Amino acid sequence: MLLHRLTEYAACAEADSELPPPYYRPRRIQWILRIAEDGRSAAFVGRRPAKGEKAQETTAPYAYRSGTMPPPFLIVDTAQYVLALPKQVVGKPVAERAAEDAYRRREAYAALLLEWADAAVGDPLAGVVRTFVTTGVLQSLTVPEEMTSADVIALMVGTTWLHRLPSAQGTWASVVRSRKSGKAAAALCLVCGKDGELLSTIPESIKSGAIPTGGRGRDAQLVSINAAARGRGRAIQLVNTPVCEGCGGRAMAALNLLLASDTNRRRTADSVTVWWTQEPVDDRTSRAPNSPAPPCSTPA
Ligand SMILES: [Zn+2]
């Protein structure tokens, strides 16, 4: 029921252009890597805020990742993926294993850039990125001294953010779908009632900090069975919650939108409540404290 209502709200918010592209979310960017228009050189531009300043955000590719070798995000990722900058404990030398791990991540990041360039035939900027990767410019960049492995880097050519290109948005959505959909044949989604490719896990998570998580500050999954003992019939992941990619992704995007809202959310020390209405409501009601605000102008 909750997923039903959230997908309805997502359709409404999408019509009002309030939702980001599929599997994009606001992210803080610490560095821009500006690629020359011939793809044969690149330079870093620092965007880390000065003390007291708020970091700038842009909606960028994102999907929940876990495991021992989490896959890269398209175009915008941390320095560990973009530059093979290993994780380092302050005051200690870089462990060999951390260095190897970072190299593998950069290889996967570069391969994903080329996957987009292959899919975006005819997009001149994708061609620039192909040159940037295949001529070894990416692999020979000098890492700025003050950069850390967790810093997020976005790529630009001229004044264009590459992750905002429609071709990048399309490639990223299909990459996430292929990573997160189950291997089974199409089956009935209990949200939309149609046969579709069912998800094994929901690609989008609840954003870190949006709900109280006991101080751990990590992304959280709305529906997730990790251990057989907790699942009906010992089934794990989403086997007991059949939901297709369209419904699962959009429901979570809608929930994150509500959790980030000042008008449709109320936080307490150990809980968060969000609300929305299916029909537009009287303006006077929406301005009253703690009352449901109209989420969008289009009736659900
Ligand atoms: Zn569905």
Task: Give me ligand 1 centre to Cα 245, in Å.
Answer: 7
Cβ-contact 22, 112 below 8 angstroms: no
Mean pLDDT computed over every residue of the chain = 84
Q: Among 221, 206, 202, 191, which residue's Cα sits nearest to residue 265?
A: 206
Q: For position 172, what pLDDT does the model report?
A: 94
Q: How far is the CA of 61 from the centre of ligand 1 (A)?
A: 22
- For residue 242, report the distance from its CA to the centre of ligand 1, in Å: 8
191 alpha carbon – ligand 1 mean position (Å): 5
Give me ligand 1 centre to Cα 7, in Å. 9
Whole-number Å distance, alpha carbon 180 to ligand 1 midpoint, is 14
Residues with CB under 5 A from ligand 1 (ion): 189, 191-192, 244, 247
Give the per-residue pLDDT at 148. Answer: 92
Give, for all 300 residues of the chain, the pLDDT tens digit: 788 899 998 888 878 878 889 889 889 999 999 999 999 999 999 988 877 777 778 899 998 887 788 999 999 999 999 999 998 777 777 778 888 999 999 999 999 999 999 999 888 999 999 999 999 999 999 999 999 999 999 999 999 999 999 999 999 998 988 886 655 567 888 889 998 888 877 777 787 777 777 766 677 777 777 666 766 777 667 767 788 888 888 888 899 889 988 888 888 888 889 888 887 776 544 444 444 545 555 443
Distance of CA 147 from the midpoint of ligand 1 (Å):
42
**What is the 75 CA–ligand 1 centroid distance (Å)?**
28
CB atoms within 10 A of CB 81: 25
Q: How far is the CA of 203 from the centre of ligand 1 (A)?
A: 14
CA–centroid distance, residue 90 to ligand 1 (Å)? 46
Distance from Cα 277 to the centre of ligand 1, integer Å: 21
Between the CA of 257 and the centroid of ligand 1 the distance, in Å, is 20
Ligand 1 centroid to residue 190 C-alpha, Å: 7
CA 224 to centroid of ligand 1, rounded, Å: 17
Query: Where is 114: in which H helix or E strand?
Result: helix 96-119
Among 288, 21, 69, which residue's Cα sits nearest to residue 174?
21
Q: Cα of 199 to ligand 1 centre, how many Å?
A: 10
> 1 CA to middle of ligand 1, Å?
13
* Angle between helix 245-259 and helix 2-15 axes, rounded to 10 deg: 80
Q: What is the model's pTM? A: 0.76
Nearest by Cα to 55 from 158, 131, 152: 152
Summarize pLDDT for 248-297 with one digit per residue, the tens. 888 888 998 899 888 888 888 888 898 888 877 765 444 444 445 455 55
Look up tokens 């850390």; give the residue: 148
Quick one: CA dihedral 32, 109, 81, 255, positive or negative?
positive
DSSP string, 57-109: EEEEE-----SSSPPPPSS-EEHHHHS------TTSPPPHHHHHHHHHHHHHH
